[in-house]
Structure 1
Amino acid sequence: MKGRPDTDDYRALFLGNVPMIDLRAPVEFEKGAFPASLSLPLMSDDERAQVGICYKQEGQQAAIELGHRLVSGDIRARRLAQWSEFACQHPAGYLYCWRGGLRSQTVQSWLKQEGIEYPLVKGGYKAMRRFLLEELERSIALADFVLISGKTGTGKTRVIERLTRAVDLEGLANHRGSSFGQLPTPQPAQIAFENSLSIVLMQLLARQQRTVFVEDEGRLIGRLYLPESLRKKMACAPMLLVEHSLEDRIDVVIEDYVVDLGRRYANIYGEPGAALHREKMQQDLTRIGKRLGGQRLQQVSELMDEAFRQQWRNADLDGHRFWIAVLLEQYYDPMYEYQFSRREGERLFLGDRDAVVARAKQAL
């Protein structure tokens, strides 16, 4: 493989979604990573911990020697095979560690012994993370945000998905935004969410247009929080409002929270997935119980349970319409109207999803 130079052109890496090997330990990767990176660590968490203790007690050289003893023989061969495979599959990629230091240089050297010259990212993860944080603030300041707003169930995310100059905040957060929005797969780490958001905004703004559509969100999406600068800018951004009838909105909620969410649970857990789905929905309902009030909580809980029993008996989804209608009319709509009244941004347009998509495209 022909050699390429090491790089510190972080912008080019992220604009091009360049594949990268992350050599940090798994625990480091879990705290924050990049969308185009793959965790192929030089050392396991336990090995890294041993080397760290050795470094503190006996110094750098002793730690290096211990690291080479721990990652040797079959362990070294297996990991080297993984790095080699990645390098062959992604000849334009790079490797990095925490600061582009010893771990990157070690793996780079081992690959070279196998006839593979593979470049590293100078400064490593730390420098790329700093770059993305600075770029995130720069992008937020530059972008002209337009909110896609509307009541729960109007299908705002469906609008976002049809727009090329949009950021799907809920998609990046792996959460649907509402009290029932948790998915069976975990949300990313806060740092990983910020990294992804920075990259998406950078890529959009690189196309020489500043208008960016985002769904109207609160401060939190699940357990992840929006950057304060973005939240402040969204608070006064102009809005395109999606409006649909109650019946249409109930259809959307059934599709998203009963059909699609149920399918996700079944795909992951198999037969027990249906019961886990119902249990999750009841737990989410309990979490908003104080705001619902005891009597209404019991009413909705009983309606939900009966709806799931009806669904399991004869595949009839109509029972779900009752509890969804109560929550929309008596909980979500009043909350939306209060929050909407506090919005400062201009109301640009009101219409159904198709009309809002058409209006959004006219703005570009």
Structure 2
Amino acid sequence: MNHLSLPLTAEYQSLLLANIPMIDVRAPIEFITGSLPYATNLPLILDDERHEIGICYKKKGPKAALALGHERVNGTVKNKRVEAWKLFLTKHPNAVLYCARGGLRSRLSQQWLAEVGITCPRIKGGYKSLRAFILQSLIDCCETKNFILLSGMTGTGKTDIIKTLETSIDLEGAANHKGSSFGRPLGEQPAQIDFENKIILDLMQVQHKYPEHSIIIENEGRNIGGRHLPQPLNVAMAESPMVVIDLPFEERIDKLWHEYVIERYHQTMAYQQESGEQAFADYLIDSLLRVKKRLGGQRTKEILALMEGAIKRQHQDNFASHRSWLEAITADYYDPMYLYQLDKRNQRIAFRGNHEEVIEWFHKN
């Protein structure tokens, strides 16, 4: 079968909104720098093969590189890669495939599948065109949609509310980071491009399902851990109205204690069973030292003493002593920083209230 007769699709929006499974035949090194949430990397050529073929291309030209590619991916190697695609398509018969630019690699993969009786559409323009469409969709969304920022002091449970609202986007979830020094994940954050793709696709879904509604986003700075918001979204957020959650100090400390101490301890022990105790202590101390410059050397020293004492006593007092340093760092660092930032944006506050009042307001607006 000639590759010209094999199905080709450029229905980017339909594919993305329907969460169609995708086979990404790029090399692993390309995939990890940026991919799509529902794409699976089943490469035509591996990293070392790609490197070798690339050198051949530069020195001897495309024909020699193509010949080398067929030499390296032949016989048993070729059969294994086709089998991997077949298995994926058995589980996901509606899947499509793509390479970097919709060129030789995806055409060849599609051709090899056709030779064993399987038809799989390939995406016109490949990942490059998908990525360009996604970025343009973000620009269009930021120019046409209204955003409302959900704000509140540390420990007010903003993410809890975000997760209950169908017209919201969870930026921290996409970044795998809770947006503070103590919010660092146990695992890695996604690649920057993966983070961007995830939040833009989430925006597209909300915009498609609820075209008349504003999109609700947690009030974040430009950076969430080591990831940064795309510029169009950052600009749109800077001009958007805010809804503020108000919660008593003690209730906030309760939430922070459960999240930063209890939950984090159990997660760490599950993640690093043999060295979990030390890893948990290191996480707390390192998180505190990351804000030493703003907190000040003397206050950091005092809070560190509270923290180290709590770590020593945590199995005797059921972690209760950790509340002391949480209260100190919240009152001396997080609250003043938040109030300073909020003071500059007071004119943008559309509503403020407790959890129930905020949720009710969102349902009415």
Q: 1:242-267 CA deviation, whole Å, 9 max, x = no partner? A: 11111111111122212222233223
What is the alpha-carbon distance in structure 2 between the residues aligned to residue 172 and residue 215 of structure 1? 12
Whether 1:353 and 2:352 are equivalent positions in the alignment is: no
Higher deviation after alignment, 271-280 or 319-328: 271-280
Asked whether the equivalents of residues 138 and 232 of structure 2 are also in contact (C-alpha less than 8 Å), the reply is no
1:172-225 deviations in Å (ceiling 9; x for gaps): 111100122210111111111111121111111112224010001111111111
Question: Which of 162, 171, 187 matches 2:164?
Answer: 162
5+ residue gaps, structure 2: none
Aligned to 1:230: 233
Distance in 2 of aligned mates of 1:196 and 1:173: 9
Q: TM-score, normalising length from structure 1? A: 0.95
Find the aligned partners of 2:275 and 2:201 in 1 and give their Cα distance. 38
1:200 corresponds to which residue? Answer: 202
Aligned length: 360
2:103 is aligned with what amino acid?
G
Asked if the contact 2:138–2:233 (Cα under 8 Å) also holds between the matched residues in 1, the reply is: no
Once residues 113 and 346 of structure 2 are traced to their aligned partners in structure 1, the CA distance between those partners, rounded to angstroms, is: 57
Kindly, what percent of the aligned residue pairs are identical? 42
Root-mean-square deviation (Å): 1.6
SS at match of 2:9: coil
Pair 1:76–1:263, CA change in 2 (3 A): farther
Question: Which stretch shows the higher mean deviation, 167-176 or 65-74?
Answer: 65-74
Matching residue of 1:280: 283
Counterpart in 2 of 1:176? Answer: 178
SS at match of 1:180: helix
TM-superposed CA distance for 1:54, in Å, is 0.5
Question: Contact 1:239–1:345 (CA<8 Å) still a contact in 2?
Answer: no
Q: What residue number does 1:334 align with? A: 336
CA deviation digits over 1:84-112, x for unaligned, max 9? 11111111110100011111111111111
Of 23, 35, 42, the match for 1:21: 23
Aligned to 1:62: 64
Structure 1 residue ranges, 4+ long, deviating more than 4 angstroms after superposition: none
Q: Which amino acid aligns with 2:86?
A: S
Gaps of 5+ in 1: none
The alpha carbon displacement at 1:233 in A equals: 2.1
Does structure 1 retain, via aligned residues, the 8 Å contact 2:6–2:110? no
Aligned residue for 1:31, secondary structure, equals coil
Quick one: structure 1 residues 301 and 73, their matched pair in 2 at CA, closer, same or farther if it must change by over 3 Å?
A: farther
Within 2, Cα distance between the matches of 1:255 and 1:4? 55
1:238 shift after superposition: 1.4
Q: Deviations over 1:68-125 (max 9, x none)?
A: 2212233323222211111111111101000111111111111112221111111000
Contact 2:172 2:178 in 1 (8 A): yes
Amino acid at match of 2:52: Q
Map 1:1-364 → 2, pairs under 5 A: 5-207=7-209, 208-311=211-314, 313-314=315-316, 316-343=318-345, 345-363=347-365
Counterpart CA distance in 1 for 2:34 and 2:125 is: 16
Normalized against structure 2, the TM-score is what?
A: 0.95
Please state how far the C-alpha of 1:345 moved relative to its aligned partner. Answer: 4.9
Contact 2:167-2:213 at 8 Å conserved across structures: no
Q: Which amino acid in the other structure matches residue 87 of structure 1? A: L
Q: Is the 8 A contact 2:98 2:127 kept in 1?
A: yes
CA distances 1:141-177 after superposition (whole Å, capped 9, x unpaired) = 1221111111001111111011000000111111100
